Amino acid sequence: MPAWASKACVNSWYPAVDVVKSCLKAGVGEFVVCAGARNAALLEALARAEAAGLVRVWRHFEERSAGFFALGRTMETAQPCAVITTSGTAVAELLPAVIEAHYQGRPLVAITADRPAACRGTGAPQTIEQPGIFGNHAWQGTFADWDGNQPLHLNAEFEEAFEADDEIFSQESLCEFVPVKEKLNVAALARWLREEHYKGIVVLVGGLEPDEREDVFHFCQDLGAPVVAEATSGLREALQSLAIHDADRVLKSRPPGKILRFGEVPSGRFWRDLEELPQVSVWSACRNGLPGLARESCVVRGSLDRVIQALGPIELADDALDYLAGAGSRAVKIDELLEIYPDSEPALLRTLSHYASIGGGLFLGNSMPIREWNHFAQWARPVPSVRANRGANGIDGQVSTWLGWSADVSETWAVVGDLTALYDLAAPFVLEQIHCQGRVLAVINNGGGKIFERLPRLQSMSPRAVEWMTNPQSADLSGLATLWGMNHLRIRTVDDFDKFEAGDKTLLLEIIPDAAQTTAFWAAWDRIQA
C-alpha cells in the first residue's frame, strides 16, 4: 500500500508526487481541481505534470459542480477524469456526482485530501470520516484492483506543510487506460429472441455510447420489431420507420409479450409501468449490468457492440401486434396539436429542436425536457450526439455535466428546466476555460416543477402540499446570464425565435411558455386515444 493511502508524511510533497504518478500509470490524463490548503502539494505536483504535457487540468471553486464537470469529461473521452478536493465537507459535495457515475459505469476518480488519521473523531477543523464516505458507490483503495467501470475513491492523508524538490515528470509516466472487459454469456438472450414471436416484441433503446449505435441500428433493422428509441440513443430519428409514437400510452393500453431494452434506463413512463406488468418478459443489455426494475427480469452486462456481435444473425420478428399500423396517424395528431397551440411548452420545444438539431451536440436535462424532446422534437434531421444523466435520474449537476462533456466542442446545446438551472448556479464558472462559440443554454422557465402537475395524485392533494411539490418560482434568469457573462434572449412566442443568433459568447435562451396554451395542449393531449 502506498504511503499516501496509509499515513501522512511530515513533508507532503512526496506522497503528493506518488498520487500523481499512480494516476498517470493508470491512464488518468485529466483533472478537475478544487484548491485548498490541504491539497496544495497535489496541485503543485499536477502543475509539474501539466508543464511536461502529460495532463490537462481544469479548475473550479465548487466541488459539487466540479464532480459533475469531471463526469462530463468521462462521457466525452471514455477515459478517467479525476476531481481533487481538500478535506472535510468538500469531500461530501462529490457524493451526487459519484452516485451518478456509479450508475452510469463511468471511470470518475475522486482524490480527496485528508488530515492525518489521528485527527478523526476529535472535532478538529475540516476533519470528517472520509474513508468509505461514498459507500458502495465507489471502489475504495488504489488503482490495483479497479476495473475502470465504476468510480474510484483515493483518500490521501497530508500535512499542510510541504517542500517541493526538483521532481520532473517524464513522458514514460503516462500509461494507457484499459478498462476490464466483462465476460459475455448471451446464450439465454439469443434463445429468448428466437422464441414466441407471436407474443410481440418491442425494443426500448435508451442512452448509447457512440461506438454502440451502429450495431444497435442494424440489429433493430434486422429484427424488424417496433422500436422506442430515445434521443440519447442517437438513433431516434434514424429508426423512425420503426417508431411507436405516443409509445407510453400505446404500450400501456396493449402491452407486448416481450420487451428488449438496450442501453440506459428509458425515461418513458411505460418502463415504470412494467413494474406492474409481470406478464411481460423483459431482457436488458447494458453497460452497468443493472436491470432497472425491481420486478423479475433478465440482464446481460457489456458494451452493446460486443453483445450484439456475440448474438450472431438475428431472425425477423416483425410487428406481430400491429403497433406500427397507427403510428402515422398518431404522429399527425401530435403535429396538429403543436400547430393549434404554437406557444405552449411542447410546441416551443418543437421549434427549439429545429435550431438545436444543427448544433455540435445536445444535452438534455432530466424531468420534462428529456420526455418532451422524445415526444415532440423534430424528426427530419438526425441528432446523433445526445447526452443526459440517466444514472440516478436526478436534476443535480446537469449544466456542469453538459459543460464537461462539451468543453472542446463548439455550437453545443443544453435544454434544461428552470429548477435544474437554479440547482447548478455555479456551473458556468468554467465558461472561460472552454469553447463557447455558438454555445446555447436553453432553460424552459415555466415557473417551477411543472412535471409534478402531470401526476394524477396531485389532483387529490391539498393546495399547500401541491405548492411544496411544484416549488413555484419567479426568478429572472437574465441575472444568471449577467452573473457569468452570458448573452440572454427571452422567448415567449414562436415568433421570438426570429431574434435568435448564436455568437462568440454562451447564450442563455430563456423559454417562457404560455401557461394557458400549455394547459390546453395537455388537456387535448389527454383526450387523444392510444
Per-residue pLDDT, 6: 45
pLDDT single digits (tens) 248-304: 999 999 999 999 999 999 999 999 999 999 999 999 999 999 999 999 999 999 999
| Lookup: cell for 328 | 402515422
pLDDT single digits (tens) 168-180: 888 777 888 988 8
Q: Where is 488: in which H helix or E strand?
A: strand 487-491
pLDDT at 8 over 50: no
Per-residue pLDDT band at 9 (split at 50, 70, 90)? low
Three-state secondary structure string covering 311-374: HCCCCCCCCCCCHHHHHHHHHHHHHHHHHHCCCCHHHHHHHHHHHHCCCCEEEECCCHHHHHHH
| Lookup: cell for 158 | 497530508
Per-residue pLDDT, 180: 87
The DSSP-derived string for 140-201 is ES-STT--SSS-EEEEEE--S----------GGG-----PPPPPP--HHHHHHHHS-GGG-E
Per-residue pLDDT, 162: 87
pLDDT at 115 over 70: yes
Per-residue pLDDT band at 431 (split at 50, 70, 90)? very high
Rounded CA gap, 418 and 444, in Å?
6
**Helix, strand, or coil here: 269?**
helix
pLDDT single digits (tens) 369-391: 999 999 999 999 999 899 999 99
Instruction: Report the alpha-carbon angle 34-53-22, nearest 5.
Output: 65
> Which residues does 102 contact at the CB level (< 8 Å), separation at least 6?
137, 138, 150, 151, 391
CA 168 remoteness from chain centre: 37
| Lookup: cell for 403 | 459543460
Per-residue pLDDT, 341: 98
Count the neighbouring beta carbons within 10 Å of the beta carbon of residue 191. Answer: 9
In whole angstroms, how far apart are CA 131 and each of 118, 128, 500? Answer: 13, 9, 49
Per-residue pLDDT, 167: 79
Domains of the chain: 3-173 (3.40.50.970), 187-326 (3.40.50.1220), 341-527 (3.40.50.970)
Q: What 8-state DSSP symbol labels residue 530?
A: -
pLDDT single digits (tens) 170-217: 877 788 898 888 889 999 999 999 999 999 999 999 999 999 999 999
Query: pTM value?
Result: 0.95
Rounded CA gap, 135 and 19, in Å?
22
In whole angstroms, how far apart are CA 333 and each of 8, 269, 325, 376, 441? Answer: 67, 20, 14, 11, 30
* Contact of 316 with 222, CB cutoff 8 Å: yes
| Lookup: cell for 477 | 434568469
* Contact of 135 with 176, CB cutoff 8 Å: no
Question: For 325-353, what is the mean pLDDT?
Answer: 95
In which order are the strands placed within the sheet that holds 412-417? 386-387, 361-364, 412-417, 440-444, 507-511, 487-491
Per-residue pLDDT, 7: 46
Instruction: Residue count of the chain, please give it.
Output: 530
* Contact of 198 with 321, CB cutoff 8 Å: no
pLDDT at 220 over 70: yes
Count the neighbouring beta carbons within 10 Å of the beta carbon of residue 476. Answer: 12
Per-residue pLDDT band at 55 (split at 50, 70, 90)? very high
Per-residue pLDDT, 2: 57
pLDDT single digits (tens) 439-494: 999 999 999 887 777 777 788 899 998 898 889 999 999 999 999 999 999 999 99
| Interstrand relation of 440-444 and 507-511 (parallel, antiparallel or unpaired) | parallel
| Lookup: cell for 473 | 418560482
Residue 108: strand pairing partners: 81
Question: For 21-37, what is the mean pLDDT?
Answer: 96
pLDDT at 333 over 70: yes
* Contact of 497 with 354, CB cutoff 8 Å: no
Rounded CA gap, 313 and 308, in Å?
9
> Which of 8-12, 145-149, 414-418 is predicted with the least confidence, judged by mean pLDDT?
8-12
The DSSP-derived string for 44-105 is HHHHHHHHTT--EEEE-S-HHHHHHHHHHHHHHHSS-EEEEE-STHHHHTTHHHHHHHHHHT
| Lookup: cell for 461 | 392533494
